[in-house]
Structures are given as C-alpha cells and as structure tokens.
Amino acid sequence: MDLFPYEARAIQKDIVRNIETTLRDGGHIVLEAGTGSGKTISALVPSIHHAYVHGKRVLYLTRTNSQQKQVVEEFRRIRKKAGDGELPSPNPPPAPADVYEEVLREINSEMDGLEDDGISGQVRDVGPWEGGPGRGICVALQGRNNMCPLTSEEAEFITGTPDELSKMCSERKKNTTSRMMGRPQGGPECRFFSAYLLDDGMEMRRWAARTCPTAEELVTECLRIGICPYEVTKALLPEAVLVTAPYIYFLAPFIRRRLLEWMGCSLEDLIVVVDEAHNLASFARELSSISISTGTVRLALAEVESMGDHRIGKLHTIRDFLDMCLGALSGIAEEYLIDEDGLVPPSALSETMMMLFRTNSNRLEQMAAEMMHHGQAIQDIRKARGKLPRSYIHRVASFYLTWQELEFDSFSPLIVKGGRSGDLSLEAYAMDPSIITGVLSAVHSSVHMSGTLSPLNEYRDTIGLPEDIPLVKLPPPFPACNRRIVFDNELTTSHEVLSRDPEMLPRIRDRLAQVLKASKGRNTAVFFPSFDTLSAVMGSSELEDGTTLSPSLDVEREMFVEIRRSPQGELMELAGDFRNSRGGVLMSVIGGRLSEGMDFPGETLEVVVIVGIPYPKPTARQRALASFYDVRFGKGWEYTVHAPAARRLLQAVGRMIRSENERGYAFIIDRRARHFLDEIPDMQPAENVISDLPGFFEGKL
C-alpha cells in the first residue's frame, strides 16, 4: 500500500488485497465494486507495484477515451506519492537511438525498394536520452482519429476506420521519408511526420516524462511544435510502465500485435486491467461480427458511377453483381424478416444470387474475387490522391467472400432491418466473444472490474476466463441506510399479463403517478424498458414528439422526456436541463445513453423509478444467442436474458448514488423484480410508497 496516494478506505484496501493476491499467483480476477469505491486507483496501485517489482507492464483498457483521463491523473498521484521521478522503470528504457531506429525500420518495412541504410544520414541523429533511466511514465494511447492532426484538415479522415487511417498514414510517411532521402515519389506527404523525424525528440520526451500527459494534453503540446502526436506516443511506449488504451488495441489481433511491438513486450509481460468490464462482451461481439447493408451496396453503385464499371466473369459487370446483391437482400428479407430481424440459412445469400444470376457458386466467387481486385485498384488511386483508401465495391465483394468461408457454429446469420434509414443488412452475428477475449487468459494477470458485473459467473464464462478464478463482489461503498430499493409486488409489464388484463396498464400508470407525487420536490428519473413501453404506460401515441402525456400523469412537475433517436446534442441538453431543474421528472429508456452513460451527482437525481423489467427483446438475434449458450453451458436464459436485465437494473439504480454521502430511493414497478434478489440483495417488497418515500428522506426509517 506504499504507493496509495491518500488514506485508503476499507473497500479500497479490500480491492487492493484481492488484486495483490491475484497478481502474486499470476492469475485473473473478476471484481464488482459499486460506483464511488475508487476502483481505478485501487487497481492501479497493486498493478503498478507488481509491475515494478517483477518487470511487468500494466495495460489499462477503457471503453471510451474520456475514461483514460482519470487513469492518467491517478498515475500522477501515485508517482508523486512515490517521490516524483523516483519510480524505477520496469525494464531499463531503451536508448533513444533504438526507439527511433525502430520507427525508421517500421517505415522501411512499408517502403518499396528503399534501402535501410539510406535513411540514417538523412534524419536526426539522436544522442543519449538525458532524461536518464529510472523514470517510469504513463502513456495514454488513442486512435489516429483522435491523435492525427490531419483529421481536422481533411473532413473525410474523421470517418476513417483504424485500417483506412493506418494505410493513409503509411502512404504519407513513405512519401515523406522518400523525399527526405532525396528520392521524391510525388505523392501526398505529412508535414507533422517530417517535423517529427527532424525534431531531436528530447524536449518532448523530457516533458512527457515530467508531466505524464493525457492524450489530449500530448496532442496540444505536439501541435504547438508541429510534430505528429501519434508517432510521439508510439515512441514513448517502450518507456511506459502504464499504458492506457481503448479496448480495440488489445482485442483486435492485428492492432494488439503492433501495440506489443511498440511497447517492446509480450503477452506474458502484461497485467491487463479491463475497466467497465460489463461492456467487454458486447464490444467483442460487435468487433467480430460482419455485415453488409443495402446502404453500402448503394454506395458501391455510386462508386461504379464515378469510377467506371468493369466486366467480371464472361457475361456480367460489377453493376450487375451489385444490383443482384440488392435483389438478394430484399428477397431474403421478404422470406425471413419478422419485425426487426430474422434468422436466415447461411446458404441463402449464395443460393439467391445463383438463382438471380443463373450461375453456380464457383462463378459467383470468381466474380467477387475480380470485384475485390477492382476495389483494391480504387483504394490505391484514392490513397495516391491523399484520400482514405476506401472502396465500397471492395467492401461488398470482401463481405461476400468472407460469408462463404465463415464457419457458422458461433455466428448467427441474420437479416436485420435498420432503424430510421430502413436499410436491410445481412449480418453474421458473432455470438461467442471468447473467440477474441480468450487471449486474456494468456497474459500474466488480468483484472476485470465494474460497478455492475453481476452475475459474475456469466461474465467469466462468456469472456472465456478459467473456471477457478476468484469472483469477488464487494458491498456498496456507502452506508446501507443511504439507499432504499423497493419493488411493487402486484403489478407487472409482462407482455402475457398486459394482453389478458386490460386493467394492468392503468394501474401501473396510477402507481407511477403516486410515486411521482410522493417524490415531489426531488429530481426523479423514470426508466422504461423500451420506447414502446414508455408510450404504452404514458397512454399517449404522440409521446415520440414530446408533446403529450397522459392526463393521469399530470402531477404538476416539470417533465423532461427523451425522444426516440434524438441526436446526442439534444440528449445532453435534456440531461443538463433536468440536472438544473428542482424536482423535475426525467422520462427515459433503460439501457440507453441516459440510464448508463451519464452522471447525476448530488441532488440532481434522488429518486429512480423503473417501470417493468428490462429483459432483452425476444428478437431472432436474442433467440440465437440463448440457444448458443444453452448448448454451451446449459444456461441460455440465465446468461442471455436474466444477466443483461440484472446489469441494466443495477446500472439504472446506480445512477442515483455516485458518492458515499449521497442518498437515493429506487422503486421498481414490476413484481418480477424479486427474481433479481441475488444481484440486488437489499431490495424489498414495497409497502406504502406514499409514506415510505418521504419518510426515507426525512430519516424516519
């Protein structure tokens, strides 16, 4: 605990102790500790200490870039506590010449026909690093879309995928280096990269070692002297005892290989901390899934218009293939789409295309391969013009070929109807995140933590962690009397009950009105499982326009109603107005941006009402997932229906208490809440909310 920068609370000591034991044994731990526990500092202290003593490195993965800031700030405090600048590095930092030679080797590997030894005399000759060994630093790494200054100069770049931006960057670095070597290629260059190569790097390294900047601070400093922030960050990585990066840097195999190269270590050298771990499985599924939409096919047709059509096979053109793709997608939708999605046979795509083209599967694959070739040529042309190497023709053809090769054991083939656009998508939905998260088992240790991770065994199995690892659930970090959670033991929004009992909805509405009257004067959020339930309970079909609420809910309180698909800016404004209100009511959906992503500190949220249980919708995707986990663990319902509903409930309830001095009252209007007593053990059946709620805040309970 020597590195803990302030007096550790009991729960923090608990977290540290658990993680220390895990690190000592070189294992893994899944840990749930509520918001306000101080998880970040409690995970960093033992991890960094272990890294120093045993020559390891800490990789702290976050879901969003904004979460990195806290990691960097806590590291600064740890370093200050240890005596600024006195922390030893886990490995001796490489001599700077090695670092830059590595950068040059990297460029060289991207350069056609240029010799290694042609470079060294043309660019800076860096001397020994005056910062000296013995200084551990922290590096915050973000993608090029945040760190490459060209993204603010070329509007298109901000939309680039990691792969597109990486290719664009390599091309510009190659051209820049070639010109600096006296062999100009004439293509687009990067002035930030040439300045980076010519800079002696010492000033920046000393500054970074002194300040341990956030990614945003590093970008600002690099722009001040006109050098590339991304390259500077890469160059700092070998010296870092702590690297914080978005999930994708570890989960995408290609990017992970590069990161390990840049850090100069192997998987066994890593202590990985996964923050907000409840997001990991869905992130991994999204990363592994592939899809193609009618919108993308139409963009490919527009590309044919602008770049020209080409013959593929003997009788057809790219345009024919794309038209057939559109026809196939709508044919598949006609046959298999129910509401928003539908399960399709894996062979449906090629069979429909074969029927439309009157050809066989081999010829179709041959045509797709030729399309890929043309798409590649378009990517090269765009790259040479300084654009993103993007081709929609390539995307369609590549999807077609990948789909044909896919093993569908752990992928679910789906036709999906998009929201506002109404686009159709054919998707191979990756049901098993452990295919890519399983790599976590290969690191020295991993720490998976979140305030809402229960049920922990589901998380462990879904992520693919070993069965015998510790699953630790710590009590809330505030006194038990600060929170009261009750549930209505009579009412329910169960679809089955609603369809046979016409009185149920009005009764739910009345109960909600009672709670809103009882909580008058206190900011209250009401979360519904979906916009459909919101509209049904509120008794208004006009609610989507934010115009009308049922008269029975006229409780004389200021209402803030989330509108379906409202843009992020409007949503932030709504949340801000609600925070600033005195006794306002926020109506929103659970599992959305307000119930999970935003903070409502202090008295800006004191009461949470949850109407219904946020079970996932029984879509085809959901059913496929349930039967996958039934086969694998015999726990389809528990892992794919109960577990996500439990986390959503915990997330929504967790909005109201963000620090140990706050108090909050949650009311769940659904008798099925009793199935979640394992995850929310302090929940009780409601008795008389009209007296109970005000009594709680007046301290009479």
Judge whether 462 and 281 are in contact, CB under 8 Å. yes
- CB 151, min distance to ligand SF4, A: 8
Distance in Å, CB of 182 to ligand SF4, minimum: 20
- Residue 667 engages ligand SF4 in binding (rule: CB under 6 A): no
- Indicate the residue among 190 and 605 with the shorter CB distance to ligand SF4: 190
**Interface segment toward ligand SF4; rule CB under 6 A; list 228-236, 322-330, 554-562, 595-603:** 228-236
Distance CA(254)–CA(248), nearest Å, equals: 10
- Residue 9 DSSP label: P
* Residue closer to ligand SF4, measured from CB, 228 or 260: 228
Residue 262 burial (CB < 10 Å; 0-12/13-18/19+)?
buried
Give whichever of 100 and 487 is closer to ligand SF4, judged by the CB atom: 100
Query: In the window 625-654, what residues touch ligand SF4 (CB under 6 A)?
Result: none
Instruction: Output 188 or 546, the one with its CB closest to ligand SF4.
Output: 188
231 or 596, CB closer to ligand SF4? 231
- In whole angstroms, the minimum distance from the beta carbon of 150 to ligand SF4 comes to 5
Nearest residue (CB) to ligand SF4, 154 versus 638: 154
CB of residue 235 to ligand SF4, shortest distance in Å? 12
Smallest distance from the beta carbon of 228 to ligand SF4, in angstroms? 3
- Residue closer to ligand SF4 by CB (options 160, 238) is 160
Smallest gap from Cβ 65 to ligand SF4, in A, equals 16
The 3-state secondary structure of 631-669, one letter per residue? HHHCCHHHHHHHHHHHHHHHHHHHCCCCCCCCCEEEEEE
With helix as H, strand as E and coil as C, how does 253-267 read? Answer: HHHHHHHHHHHCCCH
Report d(CA 653, CA 675) in Å as an integer: 16
Beta pairing class for 28-32 and 471-473: parallel
Between 144 and 460, whose beta carbon lies closer to ligand SF4?
A: 144
The interface with ligand SF4 within residues 310-369 (CB under 6 A) comprises none
Instruction: DSSP letter for 439, please.
Output: G
Closest CA to 46 of 439, 447, 477, 466: 447
Among residues 231, 269, 432, 692, the one that binds ligand SF4 under rule CB under 6 A = 231
CA distance linking residue 402 with residue 393, whole number of Å: 14
Q: Report the nearest approach of ligand SF4 to the CB of residue 112 (Å).
A: 18
Question: Between the CA of residue 464 and those of 434, 438, 440, what are the distances in Å?
Answer: 5, 5, 8
Angle, CA of 216, 259 and 276, to the nearest 5°? 65
Least gap, CB of 532 to ligand SF4 (angstroms): 44
Smallest distance, ligand SF4 to C-beta of residue 224, A: 14
**Per-residue binding letters, 146-165, with ligand SF4 (x by CB under 6 A):** --xxx---------------
Determine the interface stretch with ligand SF4 among 223-231, 278-286, 333-341, 544-552 (rule: CB under 6 A).
223-231
Contact present, 24 and 53 (Cβ < 8 Å)? no
Dihedral sign of CA atoms 650, 652, 653, 654 in order: positive
CB-neighbour burial class of residue 59 (10 A; exposed 0-12, middle 13-18, buried 19+): buried
Question: Terminus-to-terminus CA distance in the chain, angstroms?
Answer: 38
Q: How far is CA 148 from CA 168, 202, 223, 229, 235, in A?
A: 11, 21, 10, 7, 15
How far, in Å, CA of 178 to CA of 118, rounded? 10
Residue 543 gets which letter from DSSP? G
Q: Three-class SS of residue 616?
A: coil
Environment class of 115 (CB within 10 Å of its CB; exposed 0-12, middle 13-18, buried 19+) = exposed
Q: Give the amino acid at 519.
A: S
| Among the residue ranges 115-123, 227-235, 439-447, 638-646, the one whose residues contact ligand SF4 (CB under 6 A) | 227-235
**Least distance from ligand SF4 to the Cβ atom of residue 165, Å:** 7
Residues from 96 through 155 that contact ligand SF4 (CB under 6 A): 144, 148-150
Q: Number of residues interacting with ligand SF4: please give it, by CB under 6 A.
A: 13
CB nearer to ligand SF4: pick between 168 and 559: 168
Binding-site string for ligand SF4 from residue 437 to residue 466, where x marks contact by CB under 6 A and - marks none:
------------------------------
When the beta carbons of 224 and 358 are compared against ligand SF4, the nearer one is 224
CB of 192 to ligand SF4, least distance (A): 4
**C-alpha torsion angle, residues 223, 224, 226, 231 (rounded to 10):** -50
**Contacting residue, 230, 321, 400, 459, with ligand SF4 by CB under 6 A:** 230
CB of 197 to ligand SF4, least distance (A): 10
The minimum distance between CB 191 and ligand SF4, in angstroms, equals 8
| Cβ atoms of residues 570 and 512 within 8 Å | no
Nearest residue (CB) to ligand SF4, 169 versus 491: 169
- For ligand SF4, give the closer residue by CB, 232 or 318: 232
Q: Which 164-193 positions form the footprint of ligand SF4 (CB under 6 A)?
A: 169, 172-173, 190, 192-193
The least CB distance from residue 142 to ligand SF4, in Å, is 11
DSSP-derived letter for residue 122 is T
Nearer to ligand SF4, 146 or 366 (CB): 146
Q: Tell me which stretch binds ligand SF4 (CB under 6 A): 224-232, 337-345, 564-572, 584-592.
A: 224-232
Amino acid at 315: L
Residues at the site binding ligand SF4, with contacts judged by CB under 6 A: 144, 148-150, 169, 172-173, 190, 192-193, 228, 230-231
